[in-house]
Amino acid sequence: MKVSELKNKTVEELENLLFKKREEMRKLRFGSSSQKLKDVKTMSKTKKEVARILTILKEKCPKKN
């Protein structure tokens, strides 16, 4: 997913997407440990997507002091 697509989403949508991607990462980790994972690049792509989502969330909701 591109950054421009993420910026157009609401905070709730981003949080739901983040939850789904983290669940996907968990399944990929267990799949790789049992050697059922065929495409190893999927893990790194999903990690990067999670990082992008977190970055956009922090931009939209900065920590207030």
Question: Looking at residue 61, what is its pLDDT?
Answer: 85
Walking along the chain (65 residues) 10 residues at a time, the average pLDDT comes out as 88 95 90 73 91 93 67
What's the N-to-C CA distance of the chain in angstroms?
A: 32
- 32 inside domain: yes
- 19 inside domain: yes
CATH number at residue 18: 1.10.287
What's the pTM? 0.81
- 9 inside domain: yes
- 65 inside domain: no
Q: How many domains does the chain have?
A: 1
- 39 inside domain: yes
What is the residue range of 49's domain?
3-60
56/52 Cα distance (integer angstroms) = 6
